[in-house]
């Protein structure tokens, strides 16, 4: 069975610093998708960034980038120039490439609470 | 667009009571999902739907029922509420069955069963 592990329950950094959140996963699949979602205190879950396993190039979205190491099954999120608004829970999620139809499966990590201090 | 809306925001139930959590999306998405989030945990899929009239079980469906009579609405029914169902419930929708496409989430319903 697939699992997603986020080993850092909580992290805290100063505003403008760079922070890296770790995520590892376990799967025997060769083709899959990985996501980072952000959940601010408002509770709304927001997609931060996503990566397809067959793409070697790391995804980047403005200040957010990932370090995808397929062999190591690692998918870390780097936030550069952190801002107070980045304070949130961050969830890593894994999805098998099932194609259309049923057998949909999205596995979520337990989350990392990130606090940006002024 | 309002996106995905959920009602109510909060609810306290007594053991054995029933209730329906409402979810509506105005993005014309075919795919809709119900998740629960327990404290300190990630999301777990309860049920999902690939279109009107079609639903399927997720990881933790026991104690819940869903229906999908329209594209817009995907209510979640709790029968005989139990303390183990105390959780935050999120409804989500997507244009296609997740894959690489983004899921849009509602603001959640915090349910307490006493």
Give DSSP secondary structure letters for A6-18: ---SEEEEETT--
Q: Residue B107: which of A44, A52, A97 has the nearest Cβ? A: A44
Interchain CB distance below 8 Å, A110 and B42: yes
Query: How would residue A104 be classed by pLDDT, with cut points 50, 70 and 90?
Result: low
φ/ψ bin of B30: left (φ > 0), alpha (ψ from -120 to 50), beta (otherwise)? alpha
Substitution target from B60, B98, B102, B111 for chain A, most A beta carbons within 10 A: B98
Q: Residue A100: which of B88, B97, B106 has the nearest Cβ? A: B97
- What pLDDT shows up at residue B95? 81
> Is some CB atom of chain B closer than 8 A to the CB atom of A17?
no
Judging contacts by C-beta atoms under 8 Å, the chain A residues touching residue B92 are 45
Percent of chain A with pLDDT over 70: 92
Judging contacts by C-beta atoms under 8 Å, the chain A residues touching residue B99 are 33, 95, 97
Strand-by-strand arrangement of the B4-7 sheet: B4-7, B19-25, B76-78, B64-66
Q: What is the mean pLDDT of residues A84-100?
A: 83
Give the distance from residue B2's alpha carbon to the nearest chain A alpha carbon, in angstroms. 13
Q: What is the mean pLDDT of residues A53-63?
A: 91
- What pLDDT shows up at residue B37? 92
- Over residues B2-24, the pLDDT tens digits come to 899 999 999 999 999 999 999 99
First to last CA, chain B: 36
Residues A113, B7, B29, CA angle at the centre, nearest 5°? 85
Q: Residue A95: which of B58, B88, B98 has the nearest Cβ? A: B98
User: CB contacts < 8 Å between A and B, how many?
Assistant: 59
Other Cβ atoms closer than 10 A to A57: 8
Q: How far apart are CA B64 and CA B44, in angstroms?
A: 13
Chain position carrying tokens 């194609």 = A99
- Over residues B35-90, the pLDDT tens digits come to 999 987 888 989 999 889 999 888 899 999 999 999 999 999 999 999 999 999 99
Interchain CB distance below 8 Å, B42 and A106: no
> Is some CB atom of chain B closer than 8 A to the CB atom of A42?
yes
Indicate the SS3 state at residue B86: coil
Q: Residue B107: which of A43, A47, A108 has the nearest Cβ? A: A43
Q: How far apart are CA B94 and CA A57, in angstroms?
A: 25
């Amino acid at each position: 069975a697939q699992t997603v592990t986020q080993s850092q329950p909580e992290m805290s950094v100063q505003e403008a610093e760079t922070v890296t959140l770790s995520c590892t996963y376990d799967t025997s699949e060769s083709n899959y998708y990985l996501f980072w979602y952000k959940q601010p205190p408002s509770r709304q879950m927001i997609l931060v960034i996503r990566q397809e396993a067959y793409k070697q190039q790391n995804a980047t979205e403005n200040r957010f980038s990932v370090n995808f190491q397929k062999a190591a099954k690692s998918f870390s999120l780097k936030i550069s120039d952190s801002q107070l608004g980045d304070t949130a829970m961050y969830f890593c999620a894994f999805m098998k490439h099932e194609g259309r139809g049923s057998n949909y499966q999205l596995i979520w990590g337990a989350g990392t609470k990130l606090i940006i201090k002024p | 667009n309002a996106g995905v809306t959920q009602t109510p925001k909060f609810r306290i139930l007594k053991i054995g009571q029933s209730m329906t959590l409402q979810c509506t999306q105005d993005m014309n998405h075919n795919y809709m999902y119900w998740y629960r989030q327990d404290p300190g945990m990630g999301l777990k899929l309860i049920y999902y739907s690939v279109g009107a009239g079609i639903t399927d079980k997720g990881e933790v469906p026991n104690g819940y029922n869903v229906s999908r009579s329209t594209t817009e609405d995907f209510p979640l029914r709790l029968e005989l509420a139990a303390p183990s169902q105390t959780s935050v419930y999120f409804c989500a929708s997507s244009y296609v069955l997740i894959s690489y496409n983004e899921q849009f989430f509602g603001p959640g319903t915090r349910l307490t069963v006493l």
